[in-house]
Structure 1
Amino acid sequence: MTESPLPARRFLPVWVIFTAGVILLGFLILLGMSLGKGQTQALQVGSPVADFSLTTFDGQTIALSDLRGKTVLINFWASWCTTCTDEAAFLQQAWQQVNQQQVVFLGVDYADTEAPARAFLQAHGLTYPAGPDLGSAISRQFHLTGVPESYLIDGTGILRGVRIGPFTSTQDLQSFIGQNSGN
């Protein structure tokens, strides 16, 4: 009996495999570059802050551009955040002590629901303007990493200071404002 020979295996030439690999690598690089174009860089101290609007829990709409000429402290917080609870009294005390014609506090409620947020404001007696970050638009603009975080913007709209984490006392908060704004 004669055996029939096995069909010869066909291999792709090395140059075909190499070319396909280069094309795939090029495609992945271009894809990565195009995905990165839609992202903005994190805010840097000394850079301008883009305008945004916050509608407070009282229904007032405040645009950052409306506050030109004033120093603005933006504090991101949430009702479920334990360190936000710790710093709430310091924020309220500092708010009562600053010249509100020159310095404005804005509380931005992050990833929360309205009822607990309102309860938080009431429980801590917070009287400065505060509102929800609907759709997390403001948080994304500031590249928020967690709560609490605070940002100090001068009267010309330039970011002057960033505080990641809670203030530890009223004096700590006042020092942050004074060192970064001249007020």
Structure 2
Amino acid sequence: MIEELSNKERQTEHPQRWGAILVWIGVLGILLVLGLGLTRSKQGPVGVGEKIPDFILTTFDGDQIDIEDLRGRVVVINFWASWCKPCEQEAAELEQASQSFKDQDVIFLGVDYVDTETEALTYLSKFNITYPNGPDLRTQISQAFRIRGVPETYIVGREGVLVDVRIGPYLSLAEIENAVLGALEQ
């Protein structure tokens, strides 16, 4: 009888022990994922002097732009969203700058962050933006750049190295032009 009781106790303890082990494995897994996320967010955006991440932007027109194909040119990458009021402050000036530099080996790219296509296209139309723009599908590009919000603008030199970062909106056309001219001089 005592042996039977011991066997029954062992049988009920065994599933409970495995349940506790599985709970702890789950908790450790969650902590690991959170820890990696926090570590990554502490890294901040891609920094000046760093090679930018490779990416392919599929534009709203369906074209694919591979950043690798733009080596040898200065590239201005602007992360924006239709719901972002500070983005609206710089939208017209970015378009003006793109027109000013279009014959000087400078290309502007817009990366639409967490938006609907309809709202994004309405935004582009509202500000008469003609340079290539596309959605950041599954936020892959913004994650690669480790952006913190919008707007953020990255100016990439001819060798694919970041030469200027602007967190927040440009306040004037002159600010944008000076940043691009600085990249062209390198």
Q: Smaller-chain TM-score range? A: 0.7 to 0.9
Whole-angstrom CA distance in 2 between matches of 1:134 and 1:100 = 30
1:106-128 CA distances to partner (integer Å, 9 max, x unpaired)?
00000101000000001110000
SS at match of 1:58: coil
Determine which of 137, 159, 162 is the counterpart of 1:159: 162
> Partner letter of residue 134 of structure 1?
L
Aligned to 2:20: none
- Taking only aligned residues, the RMSD between alpha carbons, in angstroms, comes to 2.4
Is the 2:152–2:169 Cα contact (8 Å) retained in structure 1? Answer: yes
Name which one, 1 or 2, has greater alpha-carbon Rg. Answer: 1
Which AA in structure 2 matches 1:73? V
1:30-109 aligned at under 5 Å gives the runs 35-36=35-36, 39=40, 41-42=43-44, 43-109=46-112
CA contact (8 A) 1:57 1:132 kept: yes
Q: Is the 8 A contact 1:133 1:139 kept in 2?
A: yes
Note if contact 1:91-1:170 (Cα within 8 Å) is conserved in structure 2: yes
Matched, 1:179 2:182: yes
Q: If the length of structure 2 is used for normalisation, what is the TM-score?
A: 0.76
Q: What is the identity, as a one-letter code, of the residue corresponding to 2:78?
A: N
Q: 2: distance between equivalents of 1:146 and 1:180?
A: 23
Paired residue secondary structure (1:94): helix
CA contact (8 A) 1:160 1:181 kept: no
What is the rounded CA distance, in whole Å, between the counterparts of 1:143 and 1:100 in structure 2?
Answer: 30
Structure 1 runs of 4+ aligned residues shifted over 3 Å read: 35-42
1:106 partner SS: strand
State the Cα distance separating 1:169 from its structure 2 match: 1.1
**1:73–1:152 Cα contact (<8 Å) kept:** yes
Q: Secondary structure at the residue paired with 2:134?
A: strand
Structure 1 residue runs of 5 or longer lacking an equivalent are: 1-27
Could you tell me which residue of structure 2 aligns to residue 169 of structure 1? 172
How many residue pairs end up in the alignment? Answer: 155
Cα distance, 1:39 vs. partner?
A: 4.4
1:49 deviates by 1.1
| Paired-residue identity, % | 46
Letter in 1 for 2:53: A
The alignment partner of 1:111 has SS state of: coil
